[in-house]
Amino acid sequence: MSGTLAPGLSRKVKKILETKVDSPELLSSLATLSEIHPSNTPAARRRLRATIEKQGLDVAKSFLSDASSVIDAINVVRKELDGLSTACDGISKGIEASKQATSGLLEETSQLKRKLAISERRSELVVQFLSSYQLSEEEIEALSDHEVGDEFFKALERVREIHGNCRSLLHGAHQRAGLEIMDAMGAHQEAAYEKLCRWVQQQCRALGSDDAPEVDGTLRKAAHVLQQRPVLFKYCAEEVATSRHNALFQRFIAALTRGGPGGTPRPIEMHAHDPRRYVGDMLAWVHQSLASEHELFVSLFGEHKDDRGPSVQDAECGSSTEMATTSLLLDRVFESICRPLKVRVEQVLMSSPSMLLCYRLSHLLAFYGSTVRSILGEEAQLFNTLKGCKEMAARIFFEQLKSKGDHLLRNPPPPPSDLSPPSQVSEAIRLLLDILEVSETGVEQPSNEATGAEAERVLTAGLDPLLTMCEKSAEALSADAPSRVDEQTSLDPSAQKIYQINCLHAIQTLLGRRPCMDSWTARLAELIEGHTASLVGTEVGRILSRAGLSEILERIRLHQESGSDTGAMADEPALQKEKVAEALKGFFSAVSEPDILPAFNALQAPRVRAQASDRVARHLADAYSTIYSALTDPANGYSPDGDASAIVKHNPDQVATILGVS
């Protein structure tokens, strides 16, 4: 096409070309045209506009035809509504006329309603007042009835509540009514408490006949309620204490003489031949009875969470008072058995029991005494009874311990020929160990301080006489003793020290290592060390004296202390080379013997014997070293190559090796 399109046509062509043939709107329009014109002919396409307009006209006519019936129905409804509106207007006029005619009646009705509301409010106030300040018939009947139960306690609580409510009336304009109500409630309350007191006393009398009575909840609650009346509560508590006092005495005597029901358990006095079991069974019976009686009194006079109690501070004060009351009542109950128990325990202690048995009984009484004190307090008669019996047992024990020590001091055993400890030492120590074992493993476990103080007292009372006995026994080994162990035997001068060391070591070994023994172990070790040092000094002096070196060593020390003012050491008559050589010859002869210290064989402790022998060897080596240094010093006048070498042929190290000094 060579020509150019007209502008209008060009825009239409461009618009057609830009049209999106795949858009949903175009596709929907084409589908609708397909329904109107099923055939796609040129004639149909030329009549397309006319056909569409005709189709729209047909649709409008169809709509108008259908809407005419709806319009007719609406007209009918409008007519009916007009009639209904007319009827309503007539009714409204009738109501208005009736209202004007009954206005007086409505006003009267409103006044009556207001008066009724006031009357109902007054009735509620009256009912509320009666419920707050008056008892019901059922409550009055519950207070006057012979039976005591939950209804009675509820009514009594109600009386107390009303009595408390009257306080608000006294603070207002109704004081007279409040006083009258309080008087009435007070009369009800006093009558109820007196009735309750009589009932509790009656029930408590029945408790005295039972060994382990069970307290029901009603009696427990009644006793708790009576605590609000101290005088009545005291009467009831005394009634319980009196009945239990008599019953406990009878049960204790029955347990001693008849035993339990049917003979089981057997009577306690059947074991009177065994003091430990006899006293233990009596104390165990007392402890068991104390536990049951304490439970009974706590059940009766304890605090009940179900009841309405006082404030926190009042509760704390009441708790301490309650505990004190329980302790006093129990003290009164157990006062009945104090005398028979004390008499029987004293009979056992006066029958000359063994020392160990006395100590065991003392600890047993102390244990039960501490248990009683924790329940009844230190002022209780039962605690003071047990405390007195315990002190008596302890006094007899220490008297026996002192008597045994005095006997050992009066009659010290003679030392055996082998210088071993006498049998009295081991017997005394074993007895002390048995006593300390009772203190450490008994039923009572006191504090470490108490255990240590008691053990120290026992050890002091037992060991002091034993140590003195060993010293007196060792005096028989001295040369000037009036009585010797064996007149035909020549005892070594060191025998006395060796015998004491053997005795002390035996005591130390038997005592063993216990915390309570620390001070005594140190004391024994100090005594052993003192005797060992004396024994070593004696043996060293004896060896040196036998060899003739004692005087030589003494002259050397004097010469060394005085210096060169006294002249040369070799010029001393006692220190001439011939005399020193002769003494050293005797010294080497003595130290070369197979058994240089025969007396030490009597030392029964290997460790002590080895230490003593080593110390003797060291002293001898030191003595030889002193002589060797003096002889080899040119300032002393000895010729190092002549006199000295001829006299000392061994140096100190060699002599130390010979003596076994490391």
| 507 φ/ψ angles, rounded to the nearest 5 degrees | -65, -45
Number of domains in the chain: 2
The range of the structural domain enclosing residue 649 comes to 537-659
Segment 493-517 shows an average pLDDT of: 84
In a domain, 655, yes or no: yes
Nearest to 569 by CA among 479, 647, 476, 481: 647
Q: Tell me if 213 is assigned to some domain.
A: no
Last residue of a domain, one of 207, 239, 269: 207
Mean pLDDT of the residues in the chain: 80
**Is 281 part of any domain?**
no
Q: Is residue 445 part of a domain?
A: no
Is 382 part of any domain? no
pTM of this structure: 0.67
Q: What's the pLDDT at 305?
A: 38
Residue 489's pLDDT band (cuts 50, 70, 90): very low
What is the model's pLDDT at position 510? 82
What would the mean pLDDT of 460-475 be, rounded to a whole number? 90
Residue 577 placed within a domain: yes
Judged against a pLDDT cut of 70, whether residue 318 lies above it is answered with no
Q: Residue 124 domain-assigned? A: no
Q: Work out the average pLDDT over 527-551.
A: 89
Last residue of a domain, one of 174, 207, 240: 207
Per the domain annotation, does 623 fall within a domain? yes
Two tokens, residue 512: 């063993």
- pLDDT computed for residue 644 by the predictor: 62
**Straight-line distance from the first to the last Cα atom of the chain, in angstroms, rounded to the nearest whole number:** 142
For residues 620 and 541, give the distance between their C-alpha atoms in angstroms, rounded to a whole number. Answer: 9
pLDDT of residue 646 exceeding 70:
no
Residue 481 DSSP class: -
Count of CB atoms situated within 10 Å of the CB of 284: 14
Higher pLDDT, 205 or 175: 205
Tokens linked to 640: 């190092």
Q: What element of type H or E holds 179?
A: helix 175-207
Residues with Cβ within 8 Å of residue 583, at least 6 apart in sequence: 547, 548, 549, 552
* pLDDT tens-place string over residues 568-589: 777 777 777 788 888 888 888 8
Name 235's Cβ contacts closer than 8 Å, sequence gap at least 6: 197, 201
Which of helix, strand or coil describes residue 23? coil
Q: What is the mean pLDDT of residues 131-160?
A: 73
